[in-house]
Amino acid sequence: MARYVMVVDLRSCVGCQTCTAACRHANATPPGVQWRQVLDIESGEYPDVRRTFMPVGCMHCGNPPCMHVCPSTATYQRDDGLVGINYDLCIGCGYCAVACPYQARHIVHRASFAYGDQPTESEAARFDEKRVSVATKCTFCIDRIDEAKEKGLTPGVHPEVTPACVNSCIAQALHFGDKQDPESNVSQLIKENESFRMHEELGTDPGMYYLWDGHK
């Protein structure tokens, strides 16, 4: 079975937030809810300072703490590794949000819009009442992954079935694919480069690999 993962090449990422904006578009999240965002991390002291840009979001963990704690089974994990939320089941208790060590879950309790209380036409067309007062997070653009099967396309290769953030990346920093397939783009990238995963010590088996150098 597939395990879809994301590979982030930290060497490439410039922190431009194009993926952040593209995700906001693709998923019509409300203002301030960024399922994908890029951190601006400073380390060291003047003048020996480094600044690194690090895309974060739901890691679609192999061992997702959010799912284990969810009392309603709204959070589920699929055979292909995607961790999803059934908005009809979620009670908005927030337990998943405190269980997630990646701060990837968002709950908003009232509708808000770009220019205040009233939606623009575009926002009104996309507003989904179901998403108020429940937990939401990055889905790896799950609809597209599902479409891949129907259309016989490969997520991470064909843009129609690839997460919006990956499609949008202007630095080729974001990659998506099936880690179980040794020939896939992500498997090759992980094989050919040095990588780490965030907070791996917590036993979450996160599905986001950060490349930091090529093999020497």
Partner 1 sequence: MSGDVKKVPVYCYQCVAGPDLLTVKVRDGIATEVEPNFKAAEVHPGGGKCCVKAYGLVQKTYNPNRLLSPMKRTNPNKGKDQDPGFVPISWDEAFDLVAGKLNELRAKGLTDEYGYPRVAASFGGGGTPTYYMGTFPAFLSAWGPIDFSFGSGQGVKCYHSEHLYGELWHRAFTVASDTPNTKYVLSFGANLEASAGVVGVWRHAQARINGYKRVQLEPHLSVTGACSAEWVPIKPKTDPALMFAMLHVMLHETPRDKLDLPFLRNHTGSPYLVGPNGYFLRDAETRKPLLWDLKRNRAVPFDMPDTDPALEGSFTCSGIEVGADERVWQHDAVSVETSFTKLAAHVKPYTPEWAETICDIRPGTVRRLTKEYLEHAQVGATTVVDGVTLPLRPVAIVIGKTVSNGWGGYECCWARTLISCLVGALEVPGGILGTTVRLNRPAVPRQASVAKGPDGFMAYPMNPTDKQNWVSRPNVRNAHRTLVPLSANSPWSTALGPTHLSWIFRKQVPEHWPEVSAPDLWFVYRTNPAISLWDTPEVAKRIAEFPFIVCFTYTRDETNHMADVLLPEATDLESTQLLSIGGTKFMEQFWDYEGYALRQPAVKPRGDTREFTDIATELAKRTGLLEKYNQSINKGSACTRLAGENYDFSLAPDKAYKAEEIWDAVCKAASAELTDGKETQGLDWFKENGYRVKPFPRLNWYLYPEIVKQGIRFEMPYQEQLLRVGAQLGNRLHESGITWWDTQLKEYQALPAWKDFPGVWEQDTVRLGGKPEEFPFWLLTARSMQYSWGSNVGIPLMDEVSKNVKGHHGVVMNAGKARELGIKEGDLIEVRSALRATKGRAVLTQGIRPDTLLMLGQFDHWATPYAKDMATPSMNTVTPMSLELTDATGSSADIVKVGVSRIAA
Partner 2 sequence: MSRVAPWHQTNWDWRAACNFIGGGSGTGLLLFTAIAAAQGAPFRVSGLVGLALVAAGLSFVWLEIGKPWRALHVFLNPQTSWMTREAMVAPFLFAAGLAALLLGSVAVFWIAAALGMLFLYCQGRILFASKGIPAWRQPTVVPLIMVTGLTEGAGFLAAVLPWLAPELPLRWPLASLFLMLVARTVAWRSYLNQLAAGGAPAKTLAVYARFDKPFIFVGNALPALLAVAVLFTGGGALTSLLAGALAVAGGWALKFTMVARAAYNQGFALAIPPVRGQGGRLPGTKPGWTPPAE
CA 73 – CA 54 distance, rounded (Å): 31
Regarding 52 and contact with partner 2 (CB under 8 A), the answer is yes
Q: Does 215 help bind partner 1 (rule: CB under 8 A)?
A: no
The least CB distance from residue 97 to partner 1, in Å, is 20
128 binds partner 2 (CB under 8 A): no
| Binding of residue 29 to partner 2 (CB under 8 A) | no
Any idea what the Cα angle at residue 174 is, between residues 173 and 175, rounded to 5°? 125
Distance in angstroms (rounded) separating the CA atoms of residues 140 and 111? 23
Strand runs labelled E in 156-206: 174-178, 193-196
Which does residue 121 touch among partner 2, partner 1, none (CB within 5 to 8 A, set by kind)? Answer: partner 1
Nearest to partner 2 of 13, 189 (CB atom): 13
In this complex, which beta carbon is closest to partner 1, that of residue 3 or of residue 144? 144
Stretch that binds partner 1, among 21-29, 96-104, 131-139, 200-208 (CB under 8 A): 21-29
Q: Is 38 in the site for partner 1 (CB under 8 A)?
A: yes
Shortest Å distance, C-beta 204 to partner 1: 24
Contact between 94 and partner 2 per CB under 8 A? yes
Cα 197 from Cα 5, distance rounded (Å): 11
Among 128, 174, 214, residue whose Cα is nearest residue 15: 174
CB neighbours of residue 46 within 10 Å:
5
Size of the site for partner 1 (CB under 8 A): 51
Q: Is 40 in the site for partner 1 (CB under 8 A)?
A: yes
Q: Please give the backbone phi and psi of residue 33, each rounded to the nearest 5 degrees, phi first.
A: -95, 105
Show the binding pattern over residues 120-149: x = contacts partner 1 (CB under 8 A), - = does not.
xxxx-xx-----------------------
Quick one: how many helices (H) and strands (E) in the chain? 7, 10
